[in-house]
Amino acid sequence: MLEKFDSFAALNSNSINNAQTLHFGDIETNYSLEKSRETKEEAEIVLKYLSMLPRKEYDSITKKCGKMVLGVGEEEIRKLDKIYDSGLKHIFPGLRKIGPNEIAKLEPNVMKKRAMDEKVQALKSDNGQMMNFRNLTYSFVKRAKLASKGRVSIKLNTKVT
């Protein structure tokens, strides 16, 4: 294994440079249905890997959470309705539409200074995963070393050209 930096997950997977969520494609408003399907399949591979880890290691990498994408105004709400109704609801059965009252209960600050009659809607999922991608990376490295029985060598601070 070659790594440009002096440690794994130093740049893109570092928590200061990354949203630290596992993307499923359910609340990505710029994805096609096909891209959402592919993203879900890829995320499920990560979840499968995580399910095989000892509990302590699993807990150091991920935690379940809720998530939502917010639409404000008629145009954004129409866009959310369109992607949801065009098939997203079938790809992600746990995804649901919620209105201002439920948004206010879940995220009070989102609605705090907003008029309750303002057009606001969200797509909400309870199936999100917060991720520590640094710990996930080190888990991958650990498993690769174990599986290779010493045949994997690791070189940090190595420029790859």
Q: Which of 81, 73, 79, 80 is nearest to 120 (CA)?
A: 73
Low-confidence ranges of the chain (pLDDT < 50): none
Q: How many CB atoms lie within 10 A of CB 105?
A: 10
pLDDT at position 16, please?
A: 73
CB neighbour burial string for 56-83, b if at least 16 within 10 angstroms, e if fewer: eebebbbeeeebbbbbeeeebbeebeeb
As a dihedral over the C-alpha atoms of residue 89, residue 33, residue 62, residue 135, rounded to 10 degrees, the angle is: 180
Q: How many CB atoms lie within 10 A of CB 46?
A: 17
pLDDT at position 18, please?
A: 72
Residue indicated by tokens 């809607």: 121
pLDDT at position 85, please?
A: 96
Q: What is the DSSP string of 34-56?
A: HHHHHHHHHHHHHHHHHHTS-HH
Residue ranges per domain, the chain? Answer: 1-20+132-161, 33-131
pLDDT at position 69, please?
A: 97
End-to-end alpha carbon distance in the chain = 14
pLDDT at position 161, please?
A: 82
d(CA 104, CA 112): 8
DSSP bridge pairs for 125: 67
pTM of the complete model: 0.84
pLDDT at position 78, please?
A: 97
